[in-house]
A and B are shown apart, each in its own frame.
Chain A
Amino acid sequence: MATPAQQLPQGWEAEWDANNQRYLFIETATGRTQWEPPVDQGIQPQYSENAPGAAEQPVHHGKRRQYAAGQTQAYYGGGESSLDPGYLAGTAAQPGGAQLFTPGLVGENQFASQQTQAAPAPGQAPQYYAPTEPEYINAPGFQQQPAYGQPVDNLANQFGQMGLAGQKQFQLYTTNLLTSPPDPRDLHIPPPEIRLPPNASVSPSPTANADPSYQRSTLNAIPTTSSLLGKAKIPLALILTPYRSLKEGDEPVPVITDTVIARCRRCRTYINPYVQFIDGGNRWRCCMCNMTNEVPQLFDWDQVRNQPGDRWARAELNHSVVEFVAPTEYMVRPPQPAVYIFLIDVSNAAVSTGMVATATRTIKENLDRIPDEDGRTKVAIICFDVSLYFFSLPQGTTEPTMLVVSDIDDVFLPKPNDLLVNLAESRESVENLLDKIGNMFQDNHIIGSALGPALQAGFKLMSPIGGKIMVLSSSLPSAGAGALKNREDPKILGTSKESGLLQAAVPFYKTFAIECSRAQVSVDMFLFSASYQDVATLACLPHYTSGQTYYYPAFNAVRSEDAIKFAHEFGEVLAMPIMLEAVMRVRASRGLRMSSFHGNFFVRSTDLLAMPAVPQDQSYAIEIQIEETISTPFVVFQTAVLHTTCYGERRIRVVTQALPTTSSLSEVFASADQVAIATFFANKAVERSLTHKLEDSRDFIHKTLIDILIAYKTSMTSGGAGASGQLAISDNMKMLPVLVLGLLKNVGIRQSTQIPPDLRAYAQALLTSMPSQLLIPYLYPTFYALHNMPPEAGTIGEHGVVLPPPLPLTSERLERHGLYLIEDGQTMFLWVGRDAVEALVRDVFDLPGYETLRGGKTTLRVLDNPFSERINAIIQKIREMRRGPYYPHLYIVKEDGEPPLRLWALSALIQDRADVLPSYQQFLSTLREKVNGAGGGGY
C-alpha cells in the first residue's frame, strides 16, 4: 500500500497522528492542517492505507458477518448502514471512513474538494486554519454560518490571497458554539502553530522549538502588555512535562557530554537556538536579557576527536530539549545512588486482601527492572502494623533476620547497618526475603497501622543519601505520629464544609514532607483501603516530595483484575528511571515573571522548585505575569532541571521554547491552545477547592470561561443583529467549553453528595499531576462504537492498531443493540446494549446471550474470532498508547445492569444531563445568557 504522503499534491505533507490513528494533512507553506486529504484541482482524491482500496473491498464483504438487530443494522464492518448521517457523513470523506463509493459520498468528496481547492495553489498567501471541520459542513446551520461574524476575516483572506498580507498572521476564525457540536477529533489537532519571526533561531532545525508534549503555553503568541492579556481574559500559563517518557518512535533527548556549558553571566540562561552570535561569533547575546557573553573557548572544539568542531552542529543550538552532563560545580556532593525503601503494611487488612502477597511478588518480579545500571542501587524493606519490622540482610548469608521495634513513639533503627543493602550484592537475600514476607505475616490479626513511625524509620534509614520511599498501605494510620481519625461524614458531603475533608487533617504529613524534601527523599503512596483512608491527608506527602499517589479502593487480589492493575502500575513505577535530587527553575525573557506554581514539588524559593525524585510524565503548571511591556518580537521560556540520573550522573535537562509576541487581540485569541488552557484550569480548580471551597472553584472556572467568551464577543464579533443567537469563540478554542464542562463534571470537582472524599482527593491528585495527554481524556473521555466500527479498526495499521472513530459523549449515540467502549485513561467501560444480539455476546464474551452476561470488572479473553481479536487489540492499544504507568480497569456495563455501575459509566458521557449537572446544550445556553446579559449593547 502506498502511504498518503506519496499521493499528496505539491506543498502538502501527511503526518501520522498516533492519538487519533489517522493522518493529519499539513500544508507546508502555511501550516494549515486538516484531517481530510488535500485535493489537487482535477485530481480525484485517492484514499489508501487506512481506507482499503476498492480492490480489497469485496474481500471484506465476503468475510463480514452480519448480526442483524431489528432489520438491517450490522454490528461491525458494515459501517455505512448505521453511520449517523448528521455526524459521520463528513468522516466518511476521510481516510478511514470511506469504504464504499456510494453516490452520497461522491457528492461529499466533491464538496470537500471544493472546500480545499482554494488553498494549496503555490504563490498564494495562506489561509491559516481554513475549514478544518468538514463534519460540520453537513450539520444543520453550517451553511448560514460563514456569513456570520466573518466579513472582516473574509476580506483579510482576499487581501491575503492577493499577496498583500506580507508577514504571516494568525488568522482568526469564529465558530458559533451553538451550531457546531463538539467533535472529539478536534482535541487532537496540534496547538496553533508557533510563528516566530524569520531568523529568530540560529538553527533551521525543526526541533529548535519545544514539542508541546514537553512544554506548551496557553497562548502561542504572547501579548506585549498585561493590559492586552487582561482584555483577552485568557490565563497565561506554561504546562511543563520536562521529564516526558519516550515512547517508541520518539527521538531520544540529545546529551551534551563535553561539559562545556555556555550560560548567560547575568540571568544564567543556558545557550539555546534563540541566542544571537555577534563579533564574528566570538560573543553571543542572551535572548532573555540581551547581555553580551563570551563564547567559551572549547565551544568549537570537538573533544571526542580532539579537533576543531562545527559549532552549528552542537545539539544545544539545534534542539530545544537537551541534556548537559554537569561538571562538579553543579554538585553539592558526589552523585548519590538510587535508594528504594519499601514500607509494606502487614496489618490484617493488608494481608487478608492479598496486597502483601501481590506487592512482594511484584517487587520480586521487577527487581531486574529497578534502575541499577551501575550496581549501586540500594533497597530496604520495612513492614509495619502497630509495630515496625525491620529486616537485616547481612552479607554472606541469604537468611534475613527480622528485628521488631514496638516502641513507635520514639523510632530508632535496631541496627546501624545491613538494613539498607546493595541490590546487586544482596540480590538473593532480597528475593528470599520477598518470598518469605507473605508467609511470615499470613496469620497476622493485628489491626491498625503505624504509618507515621514507619515513615520516620524509613526516613532515618535513607536520609543521609535520599531516594524514594514507596508506601503500600491498606488502612488508616492509627498509631504513633501521624495517626488520623476517620473524619468522613456523609452529612457534610456536598456542603460547603466538604472542602475541609480535602485538606490535610494533621500537620504531620506536611512537616514530614518538608523534612523529606530537605533530605532529598521522595514518597510514593499506594493506598488500598476498602474503607476511609484519608487520601487527602496522605497525598500531601507525595505532593510536596514530587512523588505520586496511587489509589486502589477496595483492592482484593482475589479478583485477578485488581492484582493485574496494581502489579502493572507498581511495576512501571519501579522500572521508571527517576531523576534524583532535582531542582527545577523556569526562566523567561525580561518582562515575564513566573507567579505561581502548581504540581507535585516543594517551592524552595520564589522560583526554584525542589523535587527529590522526579518521576516520568508528571506535569506542572506555572502561571505567568507580564510585568512590563515586552518590546522584543519573540520571547523565550527556558526550563532547566538539574538532576542526578538514577545511574549516578549529574545532568541538566534544558527545555527551551520561543514564542512570538503580539500586540493584536485577535492574534491572542487565534493562538490560544485549548488543551493547555484546560490543563491549567484543572490545576487552578483543585488549588481553589483547597484554599476556598468546592463551589468557589467551580464558579471560578465557570466565570473565567464566561469572561473569555464575553471578551471575545465584545472585541472580535460585530455584535450586531443576531448576535444574541450566537455564542462565538475562535475556532482553535471551540473545544474549551466542553472541556470545562468535563472538568466541572469530574469526580475531583463535581457537585455531588455521593462522592467519597477519598475518591475526590485521588481525582484531584490526578488532575494536578497528569500531563495533557492523560488529562484531556480524563476530562473528556473517549467513546467508541464497537459494533459498527469500520473494518480496519482493531487491525494492525502502519502505526499499530487502528482505533475506531471517536463519538461525541452523549447517550443519544447509544443504540440498544450496540457495543460501546468508553474510556478516560483510568477506567474503561464496555457498554452492552440490552438488545445485543446473541452472536455478538457469543463472539465477544463467549456466553450464550445477553441475559447470562454479568456486569462488573472483568478481563476480556481473546476468543478465536476476528471480532474478539479486534476488540482486544483496541483495548490493548488504549492501555498502551498514552504515557504514564496507568493501566485502566475494564468494566462490563449492561444497559439494564446494576444502577451504580451504569450511572458511573453514564457519568462519563459528559454531554448529557446528570442530576443537577447540566447537559452540554444547557451549559451552552447558560453561557449564552451570561455572555449576552453582560455584553449589554442593544440586547
Chain B
Amino acid sequence: MGAGWLFLFAVLYSAGLLFGMVFFVIMFSDLESDYINPIDLCNKLNQFVLPEYGAHAFLSILFLLFGQWTAFLWNVPLLAYNGNKVFKKNHMYDATEIFRTLGGHQKETYFKLAFYLLSFFYYLYRMIVALVAENP
C-alpha cells in the first residue's frame, strides 16, 4: 500500500521541482536578454536555492525511510552534489560573478531539469507498478 502512495507523492513532488527548474531556466535567459538585472535575479533565485535542495533531500530521505533503495540510489549523486555545494558555501548566486559563471549555471539547471524529468517518469512508472501490484 505504502509504495503506491509514496510514488504518487514523489510524482507530484518531482513535477513541482521540474517547474522550479523551468523557472530558473527562464530567469537565466531573461538575464541573458537583459530583461532583468543581475542583482534582482540573484535576490530572486537565491530564495529558491535552499528550498529546492531541501525538497530534493527530503524526497531522498523519504525513499530511504521507505526502503526504496533503487529510487534512493538514483538520487544520491545529486544529493551529494548539492551537499558539497552547500558545504563549500558556493551554492548562492553571486551577482558580481553571475555573467562569468552564467554558462555553468545554465548547464547545471538544464541538467537538473533533465534529471527531474527522468525522475518524474520513473516515479510514475513505479507508482503504476505499485498500484497494479496492490490491485491485481
Query: Which A residues are closer than 8 A to B by beta carbons?
Result: 510, 513-514, 518, 540, 544, 596-597, 602-606, 608, 691
Q: Known interface pairs A510-B94, A510-B96, A596-B100. Does A605 touch B37 (Cβ–Cβ under 8 Å)?
A: yes
Across the A-B interface, give the 6 residue pairs with the lowest CB-CB distance, nearest first.
A605-B34, A603-B99, A514-B95, A544-B96, A510-B96, A514-B39
Prevailing SS type, chain B contact patch: helix
Residue B4 is within 8 A (CB to CB) of chain A in the complex: no
Instruction: Choose among A513, A596, A606 the residue with the greatest number of B CB atoms under 10 Å from its CB.
Output: A606
Question: Shortest CB–CB separation between residue A237 and chain B, in angstroms?
Answer: 15
With A510-B96, A540-B96, A602-B96 given, name 6 new contacts (CB 8 A). Answer: A513-B96, A602-B95, A604-B38, A605-B37, A608-B34, A691-B100
Residue B32 is within 8 A (CB to CB) of chain A in the complex: yes
Q: Known interface pairs A510-B94, A514-B96. Does A606 touch B34 (Cβ–Cβ under 8 Å)?
A: yes
B-chain residues with CB within 8 Å of residue A608 when the two chains form the complex? 34
Check A518 against B99 for contact (C-beta < 8 Å).
no
CA distance in complex: A269, B39 (Å): 27
Residue-wise, chain B 7-38 has the 8 Å CB interface mask toward A (1 for contact) of: 00000000000000000000000011010011
A-chain residues with CB within 8 Å of residue B32 when the two chains form the complex? 606
User: Can you report 6 residue pairs joining A to B where beta carbons are below 8 Å apart?
Assistant: A510-B96, A514-B39, A518-B39, A544-B96, A605-B31, A691-B100
CA distance in complex: A608, B100 (Å): 14
Q: Which residue of chain A has the shortest Cβ distance to B99 in the bound complex?
A: A603
Q: Which residue of chain A has the shortest Cβ distance to B36 in the bound complex?
A: A605
Q: Which residue of chain A has the shortest Cβ distance to B34 in the bound complex?
A: A605
Check A605 against B38 for contact (C-beta < 8 Å).
yes
CA distance in complex: A544, B97 (Å): 10
Check A606 against B99 for contact (C-beta < 8 Å).
yes
Chain B: number of interface residues, binned into ranges: 10 to 19
CA distance in complex: A510, B42 (Å): 13
CA distance in complex: A691, B32 (Å): 22
Residue-wise, chain B 96-110 has the 8 Å CB interface mask toward A (1 for contact) of: 101110000000000
A-chain residues with CB within 8 Å of residue B38 when the two chains form the complex? 603-605
Instruction: Choose among A518, A544, A603, A691 the residue with the greatest number of B CB atoms under 10 Å from its CB.
Output: A603
Question: Shortest CB–CB separation between residue B96 and chain A, in angstroms?
Answer: 5
Q: Which residue of chain B has the shortest Cβ distance to A543 in the bound complex?
A: B96
CA distance in complex: A603, B31 (Å): 12
Residue-wise, chain B 57-74 has the 8 Å CB interface mask toward A (1 for contact) of: 000000000000000000
Question: Shortest CB–CB separation between residue A332 and chain B, in angstroms?
Answer: 14
Check B37 against A604 for contact (C-beta < 8 Å).
yes
Q: Which residue of chain B has the shortest Cβ distance to A513 in the bound complex?
A: B96
CA distance in complex: A544, B32 (Å): 20
Q: Which residue of chain B has the shortest Cβ distance to A602 in the bound complex?
A: B96
B-chain residues with CB within 8 Å of residue A540 when the two chains form the complex? 96
CA distance in complex: A544, B31 (Å): 19
A-chain residues with CB within 8 Å of residue B31 when the two chains form the complex? 605-606
CA distance in complex: A691, B100 (Å): 10
B-chain residues with CB within 8 Å of residue A518 when the two chains form the complex? 39
Q: Which residue of chain B has the shortest Cβ distance to A607 in the bound complex?
A: B34
CA distance in complex: A902, B2 (Å): 78
A-chain residues with CB within 8 Å of residue B100 when the two chains form the complex? 596, 691
Question: Shortest CB–CB separation between residue B29 and chain A, in angstroms?
Answer: 11
A-chain residues with CB within 8 Å of residue B39 when the two chains form the complex? 514, 518
Question: Shortest CB–CB separation between residue B72 and chain A, in angstroms?
Answer: 34
B-chain residues with CB within 8 Å of residue A602 when the two chains form the complex? 95-96
Question: Shortest CB–CB separation between residue B50 and chain A, in angstroms?
Answer: 15
B-chain residues with CB within 8 Å of residue A597 when the two chains form the complex? 99
CB proximity to A under 8 Å, residues B85-136: 94-96, 98-100
CA distance in complex: A110, B96 (Å): 60
Question: Shortest CB–CB separation between residue A685 and chain B, in angstroms?
Answer: 15
